[in-house]
Structure 1
């Protein structure tokens, strides 16, 4: 049997050295199992074990009897344990060596990279070294029929796409959240709650927008923040075009007008020409 890196291999114990066991396959290929990787088991020559094969920190082929959370061809959800700018993020594989999710498989914008304790659904990629590969949405088996419109479920961002986000729920439902149903940018692996808004034969759609009244208050705060940064006067009002509003505030024109109306109703702003002006407390 040829050694399969990134997978469990049935190997036979040949002998024990001062620091390791020598294992071999049925084809006679040999690999070392450090005693620290024996999972506290005492092994005897001739005994067969199921060992996971990986590359150690020095790039050498090594074995462990600790069972990994994911093996090549058997994807699973791994947690982020470290972020290395310019390199990628490291995921807890369940063995002594973490696995790298390379920058090549992450967004160009590092602010969208997963952070510590975020989660990513990955498989293992075996080349010159063992790395993680995020599973794209079209490779995830769709599960439908177990959620209802209006349900709020937990999940994490698995894919950041051109049309929006694909959220993988705790029950492995895949939920598409279009950009029109978000209020901010979310990072890959970010854990959140998504509200189910629609069900189709091909999957679910959802929203990351809070209830309307809460959103209106939050949007008003965004406008106030910009006003204060602009010194109490800004060249934007209800007539400003959608593209400018989206660029400056990250809001749709409808949401901007609604929040602006709330501020005007509360007498926090007034309008002159095409400008919005902060109302001073003594006015």
Structure 2
């Protein structure tokens, strides 16, 4: 049985040196366990230990009795502990050596990379060293049936795609938030609250919690700025056609009416002669 890097191995203690224990498997393949990696245990020759095998900072095969958070073949959620521009981010594996999640997984736009403290669902890749791999949406196990339409759940952004963000909850649900339902940008690993809007065989879809309210406030501010810059009036109202609304504000007619409704409710505008006027005390 060959030594399995990235996994837990049952190994026998052969002897102790000044700085390390020598361990071996049933095929007499040997590996060193530094005393600092013994998890404060005193090991005796002939005893057996469960050791995780990894490559140290010098690329040498090494063992540790610290328990890793994930192993090869058993993916899980790891936390970002440092960001290295041009290289990627390092994740806490639960042992003395952190694991790299490469820029190849995160993309060239470093403004979208996760910040320290963010969490991502990854697996280990073992070649000449151990690295992490961000698991894409299409490889995630779909879980449905445990959330209801209208539920608000918290999760982290696992994937940023052309269609939108794939948000993963701590329970393993995956929720698609389409770009049409976004305002602003987020990073990998950002924690956001999502309101469930649909359930499909491929998972859930949702909006950012408070999405319509946020949009309404943003859009109403844009209308206020326009009124102030144009002498406190504009030849558009809730009855204006969608083409004209889109031409002036880049909004749908529905969004425009929603923003006007907020301003009217707050008594910041009034309507007269097919025009919208800024109420004087808000000029």
Q: CA deviation at 1:258?
A: 4.2
Aligned residues: 266
* TM superposition score normalised by structure 1: 0.83
Query: After the TM superposition, which parts of structure 1 deviate over 6 Å for at least 4 consecutive aligned residues?
Result: 278-282
Counterpart in the other structure of 1:272: none
CA deviation profile, 1:41-67 (whole Å, cap 9, x unmatched): 110111111110111111111110001
Counterpart in the other structure of 1:59: 59
* TM superposition score normalised by structure 2: 0.83
Instruction: Quote the Cα distance in structure 1 between the aligned partners of 2:44 and 2:176.
Output: 53
Question: How has the CA–CA distance of structure 1 residues 280 and 72 changed in structure 2, closer, same or farther, with 3 Å as cutoff?
Answer: farther
CA deviation profile, 1:247-269 (whole Å, cap 9, x unmatched): xxxx7675366436755885589
Instruction: Quote the Cα distance in structure 1 between the aligned partners of 2:57 and 2:264.
Output: 61
Instruction: Quote the Cα distance in structure 1 between the aligned partners of 2:73 and 2:219.
Output: 45
Give unpaired runs (5+ residues) of structure 1: 246-250, 270-277
Question: How has the CA–CA distance of structure 1 residues 268 and 108 changed in structure 2, closer, same or farther, with 3 Å as cutoff?
Answer: farther
Counterpart in the other structure of 1:141: 141
Instruction: Quote the Cα distance in structure 2 between the aligned partners of 1:113 and 1:165.
Output: 14
CA deviation profile, 1:71-110 (whole Å, cap 9, x unmatched): 0110000011111111111111100111110111103211
Instruction: Quote the Cα distance in structure 2 between the aligned partners of 1:213 and 1:138.
Output: 31
Q: CA deviation at 1:12?
A: 1.1
Instruction: Quote the Cα distance in structure 1 between the aligned partners of 2:176 and 2:165.
Output: 6
Give unpaired runs (5+ residues) of structure 2: 231-235, 237-241, 271-277
Determine which structure has more spread, i.e. the larger CA radius of gyration. Answer: 2
- Aligned pairs for 1:11-50 (under 5 A) are 11-50=11-50
SS at match of 2:111: helix
Instruction: Quote the Cα distance in structure 2 between the aligned partners of 1:25 and 1:171.
Output: 37
